[in-house]
Every structure is written in C-alpha cells, then in structure tokens.
C-alpha cells in the first residue's frame, strides 16, 4: 500500500527528526515535536503519535493525549463508522500498558456506552473492575450504574449489576430501591424497603427519615397490592400506626386502600370503622371519614353503572342468546345451575340488585358523622363535661341512647379531673327521668349523685338544691324540707374521726357550711315553715359564721315583717360587729334608716349614738351618705345648730374630691335655715380648707356672686382678686369673662385697669411656670424643714449668717399661711404689693453671699471706687419700655403704691441698711 507524501517528514521536521534519531526515548523531544505540528493534519499527527508510543509505550501522557485527539475526531461521526472500531482497537492497545490507569478505562467505557455495544461494554466494565484496585472501583461503578439504568438494557442484567454493587457499597441501597420502583419491580422493592426499615443501624445517605420510608413502603404496598406478596401488609401498616402518631389517619386510609385493591371490600369497611373508632385527633378522623365516604359513594356509583350496562347488554343480545345457548355444552351448564341452586338459593347477599343496601349504608355513615366526631373529642379528654352534654343532644328523640350515654358519662368522668362542672351530668340525667315522669329513678340518680366526691362543695350543694327543687316542682314540700335538713346536718363525731383517720376529707364533710345550701334552706323555711324554725335556721347560719351582709339584712327584714323590731335591730347590731368596710356599709345604711323611721324623735339620743359610731368606723370615701343621714335626722327631729355641726364635720371627713359637693350642700342648708349672710363664714371656711385649685376657684365665683347679690361690691371684687391666681387667662377664659362683666356693671376706670394689670401679671406668671417649676419644687422641699435645720445648727454651735438673720426678721409671722401658697412667677428682689394691702416676702434661695466688709455702714470710706454707669438705650427694650411706662403711670394714681415701687427698686442690701437706720 502506497504511503501518501504528506505523511513523510518535511524540511521543517528535519530538526526534530535529527534530535529524535540521536535520542528516540526522550519524552520531551516527542512532546515538542507534537506541539510544533499542532496545525498539521490529524493523520500526520497520528503517525508521530504511533512512532512516539512505539518508542515509549508506557507514557501515560502520550497515550492520554493520543486518545483524546482520536475521541475528538469521532465525536461528530455516527456510531457505525469504521473510525469507532479503530478507536476501540487503539484503546485496547493502550490498555496493554495502561491497565492500571482508571482514566483510560473511563474514556473507553464512555465510548462503548455511546456506541450502544451492550455486551462488549458490560464485559469491559467487568475487566476494568478486575484490573483496577478496590480503592478506585467507585469511579467505575458510577458509570456502570449509569450504563445499566439506560433504556434497552435487559432488566436481569441491571439487577445483577445492582446486586453486585450493593456487595461493594451497601449504603446505596436507596438507589437500588429507586431503580426497582422505576422498573416496576414492586415485589423486590417492597422487600428491600422492609429490610431497610427493620435494620436499626441503617442511615439514609439521602437524608430520608424512618417516618418518610415508612410512608413510602405503605404507599407501595397499597398501590400495588396485587403485585406484592409474601409480606404481611396488615402487620406492617399497623406497626406504622403504633409508631407514628402524626400520620395515623393516612396510614389507616392506606390499609383500607390495600384491601380495596385486593377486592376485599368488607375488610376495607372494617378497617375504616376501626380507624374512626381509635383516632384521637379531628384531623385524622376527617381524613379517614372522607376516604370512607368516597369509597362508599364510588361503590354505589359503580353498581349503578353496572346495572345500566347489564340492561343494555341484555337488550342487544336477545337475538343471539338462543344460538349461543345451543352451542354451549349442555352438561356443564346443567351442573353449574344445580350447584348454584344448592349453595346460593334464597341467600340475600347473592342478590345482584343491592343498590338499596349500598345507599342505606352510605346514608347511615353520613348520619353517624356527628356522633363519631364527638367520640374523637371524648377520646382526647374523656373528662370533658361539655362534650358529654353535646353527645346526649345528638341522640335527642332516642331516650334509650341518652340514658346509655349518661350512664357511660357518669362512670367515665372523674370529678377531680373534669373539665367543666361534673355535677351537671347527674342533674341532667335525673331531669331526663323526670321528663318521662319516672320520679323514682330520678330520686335514685340524685341519691347516687350526692354520694360522689366532687372537687368543690358548691357542686355538691347544687345537686342538693336541684333535688329539692324537683320535690317542690311535684308538690312534695315536706320532702324538700327533709332533704335540706339532711344536707345541712353536721357530720357526727365518729364520722369525723373516721375521715380524719383516712386522711382524705370528702366534700360531704364540708357541706354543712355551704352558704348556697343554707340560703336555699332559709327560703324554704320562710315559704313553708313557721317563725321559730326560720329563726332557728338564721341563728344557725350566724353560729356557723357563714353569714353575708345580705343574710343579715334578710334576717332583719323577716323579723320586721313579724313585728319583732327590737330583735331586728339586734340582728343589725350583730351584723355591724361581724363585718368591716366596705361590706358593712349596706347594713349601716339600712339599720340607721330603719331605726329613724321606727322611732323618730322618741329615741333621739340613741339614734345620735348610732350615727356617731357609724361615722367613726367608716372610711373617708364611704362616710358621706352617713353624714347626710345624720344631718337629716337633726334637721327633722333635733336642733338646727347640731345639723350645721354635722355638716361641718362632714366637710372635714370626706375626701378632697367630695369636699366641694359637701360644701355646696352645707351652704344650701345653711342658707335655707339661717339665711344667706350665715353662708359667708362657710364660704370663707371652704376657701381656706385646702380644696384643690379648681374647686377653690369655683367656690370663689359662687361667693362673689353672693356678695354681689347682697350689694357688697368691694367684697366681691376682693374675692375676684383672690381667685385670680388660680385662673390662667389662656386656659380659663370663663373666670375672666365673669370678672370683666362684673367690672363693666359695677366698676370704674381704675378698677377695670387694675383688673387688666392683674390679668397680665397672672398670665406672665403662668407663662414662666414651666421654666422655674423644677427649681420651685426643689425650693419648696428645702423650705419645709428650713427652720428645723437652722435650729439644729444653733444647737451644734454654728453661728447663723447675719444676712440670713436679717431676712428672717423681715418675714412677718402673720403671712405664714399666705407664703405657703407662693405664686410662681418672676423672681423679685424686693417685696410684692398685694391686692389686700399686705406685704409678702419673697425668699431668694439663690442669693449671693456677700463678704463681711460689705456689711459695714461706713459711708465715708476713702477707698470707695466710683464706677461710672451708662443707661441702656430704650430702643433695645422695644415694647417692654412702653409696658413699663404704662405700669408707672398706673402707679402714679396712688402715692403709696409709688413709694412701694421705689422701695422695690432698691437692692436687698440697701433695704436692710434702711431698716437698720429706721
């Protein structure tokens, strides 16, 4: 065969060829030669590769590069091309020396897989596994499993390969199970999955939990029930139900579906019923019930379609039936008919037309849903009383079912664990017999109910009361009284000792102290008994110390109805001694009103003593109605002066929030009895009594209105001036409007200007409050104990500052009450003029302590330095200078006011010196 000239070395190749002739076994020379001829045709490069590999057959680098280039050439060719066979032969020649190189094997295996040479590929995989060490088998198995998972590979081959692989790495059994499921090999998939679940040491490499694997197995068994055999499906699924409580409904449904696919419909119904009767959550019950109802509905629809199709087939095959019967074997037909007649004749289940049965079964299931759902809730908590009542309502109209339900309820519910009121079950049970006119059994139920140990005494007392009401309803009055006597009887000493020895005290031992029982007993005695028996019951309640204020009042009313007034008052006396406030309030009010109504003025001193005791024991917030009753007594039967004294005491005893209303009542009564001028003292007392600012302002307005009505204009104006410090012009314009109207009607220009000046002063003081309020509060706290602190300093021997002593001398003792309510405003260096002509001293707590030499009175000191001062231009002050001029013009009207203003312009030191000179 002639060789093409292109394959021979060219002149450019002579350099490499000469070097290779000198050293043909140099890998570096061959590699440089191949790189230099990278653009040459592939046939020429293959010749170079073959020559290099002939000289260096063990070079992995050359073989790998050679095989890669040959793979690139055949990549675009069809698998039937001859180049593929040449490539395979090249791989075989490479494996002679490269059989320990897994990369060469992988390249060959991928090529064979691409060529779809199944047998040759399988054998090559086996050769690779035999040639390579075990530590490198995982690289081969990855491609081996991909190969056997392709379509067209015989299933038996794939199974054998996977089984061999599991011997190499058992942890990948999940891949095998997934392959079995994809290959529809349900039997082996179920067996493998069951073995995995039975292996406690199994760990899923895919992160699946045992719970998920259980659900996969259940789905596999139920969906392919006819294909899987040899496994106890019922036991497997029931084991999952016991183990996984959060998927109980789904597992019960899966088990029923398994039997449905097997054609065992009755067994499936049993599974559904068992599931609904055992689940404890509403969610699981809903899953099972929905599946059950869907199953019954589908069975009914299938049967109806089957009946319709059979009818159509009979119509279509009427003409051909005669011919077919002649062709059948007569002997076989006769034998089958005889067997059918012997076995199924007259058997109702053999009836093919069972649509009515299936429909009735479906309706029965739907009717039972509320009952089944209630059973689920009772399985969650069998001591839920409300659910038992709902269960009884489900059987309304069926007394037998209701009685059975009540019987089961009272046996099941433990009163100590009950949610709700367990005694209501017994009461409803007895009333059920009463509704059917069976009083004997109703009494039996009540008799058993009172022997149960309940959690609280009130439950037991309720049963006794219901029993007594039953007797009253049926006109058995003596029986009702006898029941109450039994219920309220105190246990004997022997019974108490026996119970104390047991250590567990039932509620029956405490029943005789039940207030509910005694109040019911008292009502019965008042209605059915006589006076003595009723009084005995009331006295017994008082002796047991279980009485309430209402019982005391009821007892007293009962005695009053029977004309035992003094006994009723004795009961009130016992009540006010037993109870404290606030419970005794109603007893006092009732007692005092009844006593006054009964005796009036005949026992006035006793009534006064009662009222005094009442108001002494009453707290401040409860004393007002008692004082009003007391004052009413004095007005009606006593002296008016004593009534005024009571009102005066009431104004001091009530809390601050009620003082205003109490003063208003006091003033109105004083005006009615003694006349309007008498109320002036009360107004003044109210204003000085420490009322809140808003109440003082309201009282001042009423006082001013009174003085104006009496013609005392100056007194009214003085009251307005006093009240002005409590009214901010921005937030309380009503006060200033009233004062404005007053000045318009009764004042002049001077008084009106004075009102405006006071209004500006008050407005300025309120506008600065938020700046100096914290400092003022601090000063207020410090001045409370100022005198006490200075006295202690004197006792310790520390001399008092001379400046402070002079300031203390200036403070008049008569104005102490006024200085306590210091008006917050601008801090003045001198005294402030007051509307009433008095002088109020402003203590400057931030005063500068002057050195002692500044206190000398030597005016001829030669060292005195004169400092020239220059007036500030008036333009700097703007509108303030005009306001000051207006104020000065106002003060020029009164000479004394001007003199005081000049004194106010002096500093603190100059004023002290002036006082010393005087």
Q: According to the per-residue pLDDT averaged within each range, which of 47-51, 411-415, 805-809 is highest? A: 411-415
pLDDT band at 918 (very low <50, low <70, confident <90, very high): low
Average pLDDT of the residues of the chain: 74
Q: Give residue 28's pLDDT.
A: 83
Over range 481-500, report the average pLDDT. 79
Of 284, 209, 211, nearest in space to 252 by CA:
284
Q: Give residue 816's pLDDT.
A: 39
Query: CA 733 → CA 675, 728, 737, distances in Å?
Result: 32, 8, 6
Of 175-189, 739-753, 773-787, least confident by mean pLDDT is 773-787
pLDDT band at 788 (very low <50, low <70, confident <90, very high): low
Of 453-457, 724-728, 879-883, least confident by mean pLDDT is 879-883
Is pLDDT above 60 for 710? Answer: yes
pLDDT in tens, 337-375: 555 545 545 544 455 567 788 888 888 888 888 888 888
Is pLDDT above 60 for 884? Answer: no
Q: Give residue 86's pLDDT.
A: 83
pLDDT band at 910 (very low <50, low <70, confident <90, very high): low
pTM of model > 0.75: no
Give, as one character, the DSSP assignment of residue 872. P
Q: At what angle do helices 604-617 and 624-637 cross, to 10 degrees?
A: 160
pLDDT band at 11 (very low <50, low <70, confident <90, very high): low
Of 307, 226, 304, nearest in space to 263 by CA:
226
Q: Give residue 617's pLDDT.
A: 80
pLDDT band at 550 (very low <50, low <70, confident <90, very high): confident
The answer to whether the beta carbons of residues 114 and 79 sit under 8 Å apart is: yes
Please report, rounded to a whole number, the percentage of residues in the chain having pLDDT higher than 90: 0
Of 55-69, 268-282, 467-481, 631-645, least confident by mean pLDDT is 631-645
Is pLDDT above 80 for 166? Answer: yes
Over range 656-680, report the average pLDDT. 76
Is pLDDT above 50 for 859? Answer: no
Q: Give residue 861's pLDDT.
A: 39
Terminal-residue alpha carbon distance, the chain: 156
Q: Give residue 911's pLDDT.
A: 57
The answer to whether the beta carbons of residues 86 and 46 sit under 8 Å apart is: no
Residue 832's DSSP bridge partners are 840
Q: Give residue 853's pLDDT.
A: 38
pLDDT in tens, 599-614: 777 777 888 788 888 8
Q: At what angle do helices 82-98 and 60-74 cross, to 10 degrees?
A: 170
Give 722's contacts (C-beta < 8 A, 6+ positions apart).
Answer: 687, 700, 835, 836
Q: Measured between alpha carbons, how far is 637 from 615 in angstroms, rounded to an integer?
A: 19
Q: Give residue 783's pLDDT.
A: 40
Is pLDDT above 50 for 830? Answer: no
Other beta carbons within 10 angstroms of residue 623's beta carbon come to: 23
Q: Give residue 533's pLDDT.
A: 84
Of 466, 451, 378, nearest in space to 420 by CA:
378
Element of type H or E holding 628: helix 624-637
Is pLDDT above 80 for 876? Answer: no
pLDDT in tens, 576-631: 888 787 777 888 888 888 887 777 777 778 887 888 888 888 777 778 888 887 78
The answer to whether the beta carbons of residues 339 and 281 sit under 8 Å apart is: no
| Residue of higher predicted confidence among 804 and 709 | 709
The answer to whether the beta carbons of residues 487 and 464 sit under 8 Å apart is: yes
Is pLDDT above 50 for 209? Answer: yes
Is pLDDT above 70 for 670? Answer: yes
Over range 370-390, report the average pLDDT. 87
Task: Tokens for 612, please give them.
Answer: 């005094």
Over range 108-125, report the average pLDDT. 88
| Residue of higher predicted confidence among 597 and 446 | 446
Q: Give residue 823's pLDDT.
A: 37
Is pLDDT above 60 for 871? Answer: no
| Residue of higher predicted confidence among 410 and 866 | 410
pLDDT in tens, 222-264: 888 777 877 788 888 888 888 877 778 888 888 888 888 888 8
| Residue of higher predicted confidence among 287 and 836 | 287
């Amino acid at each position: 065969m002639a060789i093409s000239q292109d394959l021979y070395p060219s002149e450019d190749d002579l350099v490499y060829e000469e070097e290779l002739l000198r050293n043909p076994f140099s890998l570096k020379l061959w590699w440089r030669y191949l790189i230099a001829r990278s653009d040459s045709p592939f046939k020429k490069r293959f010749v170079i590769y073959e020559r290099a590999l002939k000289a260096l057959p063990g070079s992995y680098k050359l073989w790998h590069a050679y095989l890669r280039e040959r793979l690139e050439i055949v990549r675009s060719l069809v698998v039937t091309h001859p180049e593929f066979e040449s490539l395979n032969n090249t791989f075989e020649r490479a494996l002679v020396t490269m059989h320990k190189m897994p990369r060469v094997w992988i390249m060959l295996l991928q090529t064979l897989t691409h060529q779809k040479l199944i047998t040759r590929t399988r054998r090559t995989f086996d050769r690779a596994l035999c040639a390579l060490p075990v530590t490198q088998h995982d690289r081969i198995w990855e491609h081996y499993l991909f190969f056997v998972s392709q379509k067209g590979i015989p299933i038996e081959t794939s199974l054998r390969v996977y089984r061999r692989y599991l011997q190499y790495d058992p942890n990948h059994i999940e891949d095998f199970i997934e392959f079995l499921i994809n290959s529809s090999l349900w039997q082996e998939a179920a067996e493998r999955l069951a073995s995995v679940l039975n292996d406690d040491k199994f760990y899923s490499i895919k992160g699946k939990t045992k719970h998920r694997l259980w659900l996969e197995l259940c789905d596999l068994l139920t969906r392919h029930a006819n294909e899987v055999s040899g496994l106890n499906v019922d036991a497997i699924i029931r084991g999952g139900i016991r183990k996984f409580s959060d998927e109980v409904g789904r597992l019960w449904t899966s088990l029923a579906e398994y039997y449905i696919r097997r054609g065992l419909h009755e067994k499936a119904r049993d599974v559904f019923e068992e599931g609904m009767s055992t689940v404890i959550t509403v969610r699981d019950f809903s899953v099972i019930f929905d599946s059950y109802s869907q199953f019954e509905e589908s069975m009914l629809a299938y049967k109806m379609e089957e009946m319709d199709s059979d009818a159509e087939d009979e119509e279509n095959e009427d003409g051909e039936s005669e011919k077919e019967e002649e062709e059948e074997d007569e002997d076989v037909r006769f034998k089958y008919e005889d067997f059918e007649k012997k076995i199924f004749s007259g058997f109702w289940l053999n009836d093919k037309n069972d649509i009515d049965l299936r429909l009735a079964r479906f309706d029965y299931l739907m009717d039972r849903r509320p009952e089944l759902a209630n059973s689920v809730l009772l399985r969650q908590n069998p001591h839920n009383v409300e659910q038992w009542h709902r269960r009884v309502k489900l059987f309304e109209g069926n007394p037998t079912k209701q009685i059975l339900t009540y019987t089961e309820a009272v046996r099941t519910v433990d009163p100590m664990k009950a949610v709700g009121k367990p005694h209501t079950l017994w009461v409803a049970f007895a009333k059920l017999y009463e509704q059917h006119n069976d009083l004997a059994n109703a009494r039996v139920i009540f008799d058993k109910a009172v022997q149960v140990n309940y959690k609280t005494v009130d439950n037991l007392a309720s049963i006794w009361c219901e029993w007594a009401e039953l007797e009253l309803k049926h006109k058995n009055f003596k029986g009702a009284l006898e029941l109450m006597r039994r219920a309220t009887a105190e246990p004997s000493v022997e019974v108490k000792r026996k119970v104390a020895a047991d250590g567990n005290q039932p509620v029956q031992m405490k029943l005789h102290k039940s207030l509910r029982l005694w109040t019911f007993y008292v009502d019965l005695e008042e209605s059915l008994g006589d006076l003595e028996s009723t009084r005995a019951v009331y006295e017994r309640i008082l002796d047991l110390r279980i009485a309430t204020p209402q019982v005391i009042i009821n007892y007293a009313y009962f005695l009053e109805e029977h004309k035992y007034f003094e006994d009723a008052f004795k009961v009130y006396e016992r009540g006010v001694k037993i109870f404290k406030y606030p419970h005794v309030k109603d007893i006092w009010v009732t007692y005092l009103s009844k006593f006054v109504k009964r005796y009036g003025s005949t026992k006035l001193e006793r009534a006064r003593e009662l009222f005094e005791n009442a108001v002494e024991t009453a707290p401040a917030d409860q004393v007002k109605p008692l004082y009003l009753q007391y004052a009413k007594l004095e007005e009606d039967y006593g002296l008016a002066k004593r009534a005024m004294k009571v009102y005066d005491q009431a104004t001091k005893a009530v809390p601050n929030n009620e003082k205003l209303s109490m003063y208003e009542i006091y003033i109105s009564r004083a005006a009615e009895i003694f006349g309007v001028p008498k109320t002036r003292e009360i107004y003044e007392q109210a204003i000085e009594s420490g009322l809140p600012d808003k109440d003082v302002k309201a009282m001042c307005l009423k006082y001013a209105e009174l003085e104006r009505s009496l013609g005392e204009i100056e007194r009214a104006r003085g009251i307005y001036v006093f009240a002005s410090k409590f009214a901010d012009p921005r937030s309380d314009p009503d006060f200033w409007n009233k004062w404005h109207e007053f000045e318009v009607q009764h004042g002049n220009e001077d008084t009106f200007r004075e009102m405006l000046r006071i209004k500006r002063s008050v407005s300025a003081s309120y506008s600065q409050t938020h700046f100096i309020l914290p400092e003022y509060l601090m000063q207020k706290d410090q001045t409370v104990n100022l005198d006490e602190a200075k006295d202690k300093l004197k006792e310790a021997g520390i001399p008092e500052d001379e400046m402070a002593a002079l300031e203390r001398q200036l403070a008049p003792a008569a104005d102490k009450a006024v200085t306590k309510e210091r008006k917050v405003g601008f801090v003045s260096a001198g005294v402030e003029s007051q509307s009433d002509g008095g002088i109020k001293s402003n203590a400057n707590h931030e005063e500068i302590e002057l050195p002692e030499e500044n206190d000398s009175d030597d005016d001829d000191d030669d060292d005195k330095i004169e400092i020239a001062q220059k007036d500030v231009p008036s333009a700097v002050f703007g509108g303030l200078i005009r306001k000051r001029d207006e104020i000065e013009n106002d003060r020029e009207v009164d000479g004394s006011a001007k003199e005081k203003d000049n004194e106010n312009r002096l500093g603190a030191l100059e004023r002290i010196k002036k006082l010393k000179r005087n």
